[in-house]
Amino acid sequence: MVCLIFLCTHRIINSLLMKIILEKGQGLFFTSDTHYNHANICRATTNWGGQDNLTRDYKSLEHMNSTLVNRINEMVGEDDILIHLGDWSFGGFESIEEFRSRILCKNVHLVFGNHDHHIRRNKADIQRIFSSCQDYLHLDIRKPEGKEVMKYSMVCMHYPIASWDGMNDGVVHLHGHVHLPQQLRLHKGKAMDVGVDGNDLYPISLGEIRGIMKDRPHVKLSLPQDHHEKRINS
């Protein structure tokens, strides 16, 4: 049984404080920047030209799409929770629901990215296909581990930010947008890019994030290089 409690739905700058109580065996996963059906990010169909570091090496657009879907479904079960940090899909309005219909997980929460304009405007009531939609998500997580219940706090936004609530207390910041490779996805402090391009198109689990962040220092004002600076035309 999924247990999700919304503690506070204050919509100032479209933010949400969400308490998640995970049932025994239930997983929590994060991903971002799937860009489902985005022809230019697929090397076989791109018009960007000569910028292999900005494209994904798949033999067709459907090859990329299927890989995205399969890798989410391989890790995330129907009753697990998936937090998607934006830039859901491309290729027209129809791609939004097509992608969602191929994902088995019943609990998908979306944090708006810069390319999610149809979803943000709620065209044709498209937000109905997600469990929640917002610009900023502060997670208060409870996870049973043996006889104990572990507590975690995370700040989620599409964009990387230099400072956030609770940073000095060990609150982790997760983001997307910058499409960093795996060796660059970590910043100096407790922040990381959870986009698929740094994780072989897979989502990343709460357990993996906690393992990575456990011993990292509290460091302020550390922003990653933005891949958008490398490309003039999108």
pLDDT at 63: 98
Query: What secondary structure does DSSP assign to 119-184, as a single string?
Result: HHTTGGGGGGGSSEEESEEEEEEEEEETTEEEEEEEEEESS--S--TTGGGT-EEEE-SS---GGG
Strand pairing of 132-134 and 136-145?
unpaired
For 61, the enclosing helix (H) or strand (E) is helix 61-75
Please say whether the beta carbons of 190 and 140 come within 8 A: no
Structure tokens at 78: 């129907």
pLDDT at 233: 46
| Alpha carbons 158 and 147: distance in angstroms, whole number | 35
Strands (E), the chain: 4-8, 15-21, 28-31, 81-84, 107-111, 132-134, 136-145, 148-157, 172-175, 191-193, 204-205
CB-based contacts of 7, cutoff 8 Å, min separation 6: 17, 18, 19, 140
Q: Summarize pLDDT for 126-144 with one digit per residue, the tens.
A: 999 999 999 999 999 999 8
Q: What is the pLDDT of residue 52?
A: 72
- For 71-100, write each residue's pLDDT tens digit: 999 999 999 999 999 999 999 999 999 999
Domain boundaries along the sequence of the chain: 4-230
By DSSP bridging, strand 204-205 and strand 191-193 are: unpaired
pLDDT at 62: 98
Share of the chain above pLDDT 70, in %: 87
| Segments of the chain scoring below 50 in pLDDT | 1-2, 5-13, 231-234
What CATH class is the domain 4-230? Answer: alpha beta
Q: Compute how many other C-beta atoms are within 10 angstroms of the C-beta atom of residue 124.
A: 11
> Beta-carbon neighbour count of residue 227 at 10 Å?
19
CA distance 32 to 110: 9
